[in-house]
Amino acid sequence: MEWRGKRGSRNVEDRRRMGGAGAGGVGIVGMLAVLAFGYFFGIDISPLVSGVSQSQQSGEPRELTAAEQEMGDFASVILAETEDVFGQVASEEAGIRYSDPQMVLYSGVTQSGCGGASSQMGPFYCPADQKIYLDTDFFTVMEQRMGAGGDLAAAYVIAHEVGHHVQNEFGILPQVTQMRQQASERDSNFLSVLTELQADCFAGMWARNSTQDLAITREDIGEAMNAAAAVGDDALMQSAGRAVVPDAFTHGSSEDRQEWFMRGYESGSLSACNTFKEAGL
């Protein structure tokens, strides 16, 4: 995958130099605030991130390391690629004008339009402010603790969160939220899974449409597939030492996440990503 030298997005807000300032001590209260908002689509990686980013939560301004600077550049390029791809397909396939999301890079803790945010939540999209929130240390966790390293693995994560923005642009997220509020816990979880798998499919569709510009290879696609498997509900439950309970899934199994990513990649079309229709909704 060749991303260096490509156009970066202007829609990136980098808060990492703040060292966690502005969060006001998120902790469990902040996590519950985001979860209660109803739009939170991150994953709980707290069993995997003990000790990560703790040194960055002092609130004191700091300089970014060379590795952090490079990761910020990478995230900016990937976001720009999604702007190009989704802007085109939204116009051609859905006949709508696509509004680009913003991406907030932070370290440890921060504030979002949906409430407090913590690195233990994983990356997420907040439709209230149309921003993607990403602690770039998550990519280190993916590589070192989840066995899912590589540029396209990281790009998959970003494209997945942008996929939620696409859903918001199409009016899907508000509909799902309304349905979940009226559903049983089991059915609410199922609706969440369908939402996540569609975002995975959108990420695959993005990869297909960016293949030429970023020189994406089959080996790169393997990295994305590893990432999709690593963030499956069954994999995360097993990593946390919990029993695998399918009715408690909110993001989908590793197998399902891989399948829907590949559906998007093989088709390159939004129309192939209607998880709700396939489920009979």
Cβ-Cβ contacts under 8 Å for 175 (sequence gap 6 or more): none
Residue 10: strand, helix, or coil? coil
Residue 23's alpha-carbon distances to 107, 142, 264, in angstroms, are: 10, 24, 36
Domain boundaries, the chain: 12-278
In order along its 281 residues, the chain shows pLDDT tens digits of: 999 999 999 999 999 988 654 433 333 333 333 333 344 456 555 555 444 444 344 557 889 999 999 999 999 999 999 999 999 999 999 899 999 999 999 998 899 998 888 888 889 999 999 999 999 999 998 898 888 999 999 999 999 999 999 999 999 999 998 999 899 999 999 999 999 999 999 999 999 999 999 999 999 999 999 999 999 999 989 988 899 999 999 999 999 999 999 999 999 999 899 999 999 98
Q: Could you tell me the pTM of the whole model? A: 0.88
- Phi then psi for 2, rounded to 5 degrees? -115, 100
* Burial degree of 66 (CB within 10 A; 0-12, 13-18, 19+): exposed
DSSP state, residue 14: E
- Cα separation, 174 vs 250, whole angstroms: 17
